[in-house]
Amino acid sequence: MKLLPSRLLSIAVVATLAGAGTAAAAQELNLYSSRHYQTDEALYEGFTEATGIRINRIEGKGDALLERIKSEGMNSPADIFLTVDVARLFRADQEDLFQAVDSKILTATVPTHLRHPQNHWFGFSTRARLIFYDTAKVMAGEIKSYEDLADPKWRGKVCIRKSSNTYNQSLLGSIVAAHGEAKAEAWAKGVVANFARDPVKGDTNQLRGIGTGECVVAVANSYYFVRLLTKPEARDAGLAEKIGVVFPNQDGRGTHVNISGAGMLKHAPNKAAAIKFLEYLTSTPAQRHFADGNNEYPVVAGIEANDALKSLGAFKVDPVNVAVFGENLATAQKIFDRAGWK
């Protein structure tokens, strides 16, 4: 398929949406979202302004929303399920909750590796799972890959979240894809042996562990670090300046990224509005909102990350289709359990 330049695609998206605005004035969209960012208000307002379609929003945790959609069955009012991790998109698809979307705009703008192979769901922003280190205790270049986290030299020095965390499950799913189950299990056992403490909740808490001296190396998503860099809480003042950043596996497969994504639900009562919403999420205003509102990487070519993210540097992304992480979820959890990863 020949791709249009991103600027022309953005014009096409906005023009299509705006042209439908008057006719859509009485329409509505029912959105079930597990994104918990207050900055998304501007995203939804922008869609309504562009189309005249009112959004009725239900927010909650991803798994709870999935159970609600399942229990509502054919009578569900939900048009779109929007969430922050490919694991939940995979679970929704396994439950046959999505339907394929036929949209030239979406297939032209969302890269193939960031969407479902049959277009059941699409990624609209990415976040990189990065390694961070105490610059007073670790030399630049001393740790380069996810695999290095299992090196015995980091015994008692690594902080990372619990095995129940979907970001970690997807990361391990990517390692299974790269190395196979046996080597992935050896890696997980090596990381457990290197724990500085029992895993705790929250990526920010992993970074704070570096500040307190509890951790020397930590794993967290990119946008958590950027928050520390740009809008730290009082207790985190100056912490970001003490932390070095590693984009792992730049000499190999590239850095693992996860997505915020969405799909149209199987029994969507407002199908046309749902497709318009998904297409809107690829427009320049929406992509800029992901970048500026929550420090996420845009997925549409030609739309840049914000200045804070760009200050971390450019990097090579692992090109494996993110759907693979979902396919490896069950295997990843079994590995975590066998490794004793709490």
Confidence band for 37, pLDDT divided at 50, 70 and 90:
confident
> What is the DSSP code string of 125-139?
EEEEEEEEEETTTS-
What would the pLDDT profile of 54-69 be if each residue is shown by its tens digit?
999 999 999 999 999 9
Residue 179, class by beta-carbon neighbours within 10 Å (0-12 exposed, 13-18 middle, 19+ buried)?
Answer: middle
Question: Residue 116 carries which DSSP code?
Answer: -
**pLDDT at position 13 over 70:** no
Nearest to 163 by CA among 24, 336, 338, 29: 336
Which range, of 6-15, 214-223, 253-262, averages the lowest pLDDT?
6-15
**pLDDT for residue 4 is more than 70:** no
Mean pLDDT score, 195-215: 97
Q: Count the alpha carbons within 13 Å of 160 in the hemisphere toward its beta carbon.
A: 32
pLDDT of residue 26: 57
Say if residues 334 and 40 touch (Cβ distance below 8 Å): no
Give the pLDDT band of residue 14 (cuts 50, 70, 90): very low
* Pairing of the two strands 54-59 and 28-33: parallel
Question: What's the pLDDT at 17?
Answer: 53
Closest to 19 in 3D by CA, of 266, 276, 288, 308 = 276
Whole-number average pLDDT of the chain: 92
Measured between alpha carbons, how far is 134 from 240 in angstroms, rounded to an integer? 10
pLDDT per residue over 257-315, tens digit each?
Answer: 999 999 999 999 999 999 999 999 999 999 999 999 889 999 999 999 999 999 999 99
Cα separations in angstroms, 219 against 136, 171, 174, 193 = 17, 11, 15, 15
Give 40-55 pLDDT, tens digit per residue.
888 999 999 999 999 9
Ordered alpha helix ranges (H), the chain: 6-19, 40-51, 62-72, 86-94, 104-109, 166-179, 181-193, 203-212, 222-230, 271-280, 284-294, 307-311, 323-327, 329-339
With cut-offs at 50, 70 and 90, classify the pLDDT of residue 146.
Answer: very high
CA–CA dist 276, 179 (Å, integer): 39
For the segment 202-231, the average pLDDT, to the nearest whole number, is: 97
3-class secondary structure, 23: coil
Residue 76, token pair as written in the block: 């569900």
Q: pLDDT at position 192, please?
A: 98
pTM here is: 0.89
Domains recognised in the chain with CATH numbers: 6-126+258-309 (3.40.190.10), 129-255+322-339 (3.40.190.10)
- 217: buried, middle or exposed (CB in 10 Å: 19+, 13-18, 0-12)? buried
Q: Any idea of the CA torsion for 300, 304, 306, 309, to the nearest 10 degrees?
A: 90
Mean pLDDT of the region 136-150: 97
Greatest Cα pair distance, the chain, in angstroms, is 64
Mean per-residue pLDDT for 88-98? 96
Tell me what pLDDT residue 38 has: 76
Determine contact, residues 228/240, Cβ cutoff 8 Å: yes
Q: What percent of the chain has pLDDT over 90?
A: 89
